Amino acid sequence: AQKVTQAQTEISVVEKEDVTLDCVYETRDTTYYLFWYKQPPSGELVFLIRRNSFDEQNEISGRYSWNFQKSTSSFNFTITASQVVDSAVYFCALILNYQLIWGAGTKLIIKP
């Protein structure tokens, strides 16, 4: 089966804490892309990152960082020094056969 699992349904932290959102995927393909999207309360999805299966370098963009580990089929997302504006639902996705396979999402709540 080819799928994306986000085991954390909801995470709640206090502002300025670091938080990691987990994503585990399954695929038999050797070439694939992984994605993270953010869905704020307004509903519109915002693209955050794309990572191809041959590039295992971790990526950092400001307070956001991504840890891709092919050996464990994981693509985790860390927010450092979280802010209230980071509150949203975050989706991990995998492209396969030209379709995005979506995880169920993790709702992140950042309390002031």
Partner 1 sequence: DGGITQSPKYLFRKEGQNVTLSCEQNLNHDAMYWYRQDPGQGLRLIYYSQIVNDFQKGDIAEGYSVSREKKESFPLTVTSAQKNPTAFYLCASSMSVAEGEQFFGPGTRLTVL
| 95 touches partner 1 (CB under 8 A) | yes
Q: CB-wise, 41 or 112, nearer to partner 1?
A: 41
Using CB under 8 A as the binding criterion, the count of chain residues that bind partner 1 stands at 19
CB-CB contact of 93 with 45 (8 Å): no
* CB contact burial 81-98 (16+ within 10 A = b; e otherwise): ebeeebbbbbbbbbbbee
Minimum CB distance to partner 1 smaller for 19 or for 89? 89
Contacts of 87 (CB under 8 A, 6+ apart): 40, 41, 108, 109, 110
Structure tokens at 44: 């519109």
Comparing CB distances to partner 1, the nearer of 12 and 47 is: 47
> For residues 32-71, which are near partner 1 according to CB under 8 A?
33, 35, 42-47, 50
Chain contacts with partner 1 (rule: CB under 8 A): 33, 35, 42-47, 50, 91, 93, 95, 98-100, 102-105
